[in-house]
């Protein structure tokens, strides 16, 4: 996987993702918008900006890469450095860099680095399931227009039947009156000449047509009364790291000298530091599930920060402070 996929994952949960030694992607809330020219309706979304001044490593991307690739924190930093080198080479060579689902970085005539967001992906969790759509305006005369239904072909089909029905009625009437004249005492109360009547024919009338019931489809599908949509996935909250105390003490800060996805690696670092008479132990896990190896116990953040700076001068270049 390319590093832009890891950056895209973090943009769903965080408003700022920094790529060390390259720049940061900053998210701002953007309300719903309507384009009156294109008649385009867009839902609320995160508007992403690129700030090339945010280059200092905050550990967010490195820890995420470490967890995904199951490597150490130092290995993750090396991986990110290699990807940043590729980014800079592509921009220098092609004057542009396309990041899938994030956007396009390019340089203008003055050499300034610009960014254009890719709007295909909406990183705002509250807009889950919503998408942009076009809606054309309705004409003012549309409601007054009526559909013209051609009836000439139906009339042509009905004319032969109408003629036949008329002739039948005339013949029956003539036969009735003839029999009545020849047999005046004949009772016709139970004698029905029209036991099988033709269906009455009606002329087309708009008022009658409006009252006709709607045709029933040959096949119908029962739909549920309501259609449930999947609930939006809530962003994972950022939980403050709370380390397990090394010893029974009132200290609340410790300096992290390493974090590992495999506990055996963390145990090996503890063993090596113990041989050097360093007070280290596994103090807990990060939100990404990495085992943290902590050094010392301090009652104030300033004291822990001072010790962190001293350790960075040695072999622990990425040492950082955590609150217990």
pLDDT at 248 (0 to 100) = 41
Q: Is 70 left (phi over 0), alpha (psi -120 to 50) or beta?
A: left
pLDDT at 226 (0 to 100) = 43
In terms of C-beta density within 10 A (0-12 exposed, 13-18 middle, 19 or more buried), how is residue 292 classed? buried
| Per-residue pLDDT band at 219 (split at 50, 70, 90) | very low
Angle formed by the axes of helices 73-94 and 3-11, to 10°? 100
Q: What is the pLDDT of residues 275-291, one digit of tens each?
A: 988 888 998 888 888 99
Mean pLDDT, to the nearest integer, of 4-23? 92
Q: Which residue has the higher pLDDT, 126 or 223?
A: 126
Q: Inform me whether the pLDDT recorded for 23 exceeds 90.
A: yes
Residues 226, 220: Cα–Cα separation, whole Å: 17
Q: What is the DSSP letter of 198?
A: P
On average, the pLDDT of the chain sits at 76
Mean pLDDT, to the nearest integer, of 38-65? 89
Long-range CB contacts (< 8 A, 24+ apart) of 271-277? none
Mean pLDDT, to the nearest integer, of 196-205? 49
Q: Inform me whether the pLDDT recorded for 134 exceeds 50.
A: yes
pLDDT at 184 (0 to 100) = 54
- Least reliable range by pLDDT among 78-82, 201-205, 222-226: 222-226
Residues 191, 201: Cα–Cα separation, whole Å: 25
Most confident of 4-8, 37-41, 120-124: 4-8
Q: Inform me whether the pLDDT recorded for 190 exceeds 70.
A: no
Is the Cα torsion angle 240, 243, 248, 253 positive or negative in sign?
negative
| Per-residue pLDDT band at 39 (split at 50, 70, 90) | confident
Q: What is the pLDDT of residues 90-107, one digit of tens each?
A: 888 888 899 988 999 998
Tokens of 187: 């009772």
Residues 79, 71 contacting (CB under 8 angstroms): yes
Mean pLDDT, to the nearest integer, of 149-175? 68
pLDDT at 240 (0 to 100) = 39
Mean pLDDT, to the nearest integer, of 245-267? 77
- Least reliable range by pLDDT among 41-55, 204-218, 309-323: 204-218
Q: Inform me whether the pLDDT recorded for 155 exceeds 70.
A: no
């Amino acid at each position: 996987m390319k590093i832009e996929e890891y950056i895209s994952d973090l943009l769903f949960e965080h408003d700022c993702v920094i790529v060390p030694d390259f720049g940061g992607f900053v998210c701002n809330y953007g309300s719903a918008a309507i384009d009156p020219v294109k008649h385009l309706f867009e839902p609320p979304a995160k508007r992403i900006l690129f700030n090339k001044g945010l280059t200092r490593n905050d550990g967010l991307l490195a820890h995420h890469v470490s967890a995904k690739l199951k490597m150490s924190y130092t290995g993750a930093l090396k991986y990110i450095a290699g990807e940043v080198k590729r980014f800079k080479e592509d921009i220098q060579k092609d004057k542009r860099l396309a990041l899938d689902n994030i956007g396009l970085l390019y340089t203008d005539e003055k050499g300034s680095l610009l960014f254009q967001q890719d709007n295909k992906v909406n990183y705002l969790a509250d807009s889950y399931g919503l998408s942009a759509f076009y809606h054309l305006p309705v004409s003012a005369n549309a409601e007054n227009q009526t559909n013209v239904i051609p009836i000439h072909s139906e009339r042509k089909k009905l004319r032969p039947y109408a003629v036949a029905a008329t002739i039948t009625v005339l013949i029956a009437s003539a036969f009735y009156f003839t029999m009545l004249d020849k047999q005046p005492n004949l009772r016709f109360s139970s004698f029905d000449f029209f036991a099988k009547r033709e269906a009455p024919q009606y002329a087309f009338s708009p008022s009658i047509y409006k009252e006709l019931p709607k045709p029933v489809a040959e096949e119908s599908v029962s739909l549920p009364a309501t259609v449930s949509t999947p609930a939006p996935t809530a962003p994972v909250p950022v939980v403050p790291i709370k380390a397990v105390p090394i010893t029974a003490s009132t200290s609340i800060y410790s300096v992290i000298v390493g974090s590992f996805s495999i506990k055996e690696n963390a145990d090996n670092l503890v063993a090596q530091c113990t041989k050097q008479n360093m007070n280290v132990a596994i103090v807990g896990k990060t939100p990404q599930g990495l085992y943290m190896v902590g050094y010392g116990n301090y009652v104030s953040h300033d004291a822990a920060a001072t010790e962190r700076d001293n350790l960075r001068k040695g072999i622990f270049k990425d040492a950082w402070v955590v609150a217990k």
